[in-house]
């Protein structure tokens, strides 16, 4: 039944007007509703959202809970959730359509392919919310705050753009601070190892995902890092 349910979700995604998908890492093509090919690179706000509002991208968005919360809070901005798992994106996309959140959409692709779908200086902000920390040795380059990924993000961010990391994992938190220190064009704007121990650094951190609620119930602390990158 679970397998059938997942297939049903994949079929739904093909018809959702707020979902774009890439199925082949060797072929950087995005398909949208009914399999139509779209090229929004450099024009996401104008072509999909039909406006010129700032664009925020959530990486490893999972069910899209943060993109949805940000979209509700900031109707004057556009939000794109990125994840490779279609069954996860399905839930966020369905809620966005149900609630009429026309400023929230989703892209199913690998994060390594961001530069194939976004133009230089197109993104105003990046949120990375509870990503896989890849704790094993040899997996460092798969961590979304590694120097490898900071190099991917750098040309895509507008000058002055900010990267936000929210995580419960102390290893990823420490790794991120080291990664910033080791990357000449990266700058640490602030870091907190327990955001709920005092006033929140920024109000957007009050949004809680399903997994964050579980982490808090388990007694874990939630950490936050804010990063800036020099323009290319």
3-state secondary structure of 69: helix
Rounded to whole angstroms, the Cα distance separating 135 from 204 reads 27
Q: Judge whether 83 counts as a catalytic residue.
A: no
Out of 132, 182, 194, 230, which one is annotated catalytic? 132
The DSSP secondary structure of 205-228, one letter per residue, reads: GG---HHHHHHHHTTPPPEEEEEE
Q: For 78-98, b where at least 16 C-beta lie within 10 A, e where not — what string?
A: bbbbbbbebbbbbbbbbbbee
Catalytic machinery residues:
132
């Amino acid at each position: 039944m679970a397998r059938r349910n997942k297939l049903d979700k994949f079929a739904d995604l093909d018809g959702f007007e707020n979902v774009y998908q890439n199925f082949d890492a060797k072929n950087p093509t995005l398909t949208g509703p009914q399999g139509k090919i779209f090229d929004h690179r450099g024009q996401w706000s104008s072509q999909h959202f039909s406006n010129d509002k700032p664009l925020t991208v959530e990486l490893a968005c999972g069910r899209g809970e943060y993109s949805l919360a940000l979209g509700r809070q900031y109707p004057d901005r556009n939000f794109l959730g990125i994840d490779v798992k279609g069954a996860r994106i399905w839930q966020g996309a369905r809620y966005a359509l149900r609630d009429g959140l026309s400023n929230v959409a989703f892209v199913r692709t690998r994060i390594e392919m961001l530069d194939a779908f976004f133009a230089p200086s197109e993104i105003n902000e990046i949120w990375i919310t509870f990503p896989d920390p890849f704790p094993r040795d040899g997996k460092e380059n798969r961590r979304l705050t590694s120097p490898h990924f900071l190099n991917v993000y750098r040309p895509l961010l507008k000058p002055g753009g900010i990267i936000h990391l929210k995580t419960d994992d102390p290893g990823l938190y420490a790794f991120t601070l080291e990664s910033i220190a080791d990357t000449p064009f990266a700058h640490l704007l602030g870091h907190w190892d327990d955001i709920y121990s005092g006033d929140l650094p920024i109000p957007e951190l009050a949004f809680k995902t399903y997994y964050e609620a579980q982490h808090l119930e388990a007694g874990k602390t939630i950490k936050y890092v804010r990063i800036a990158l020099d323009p290319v």
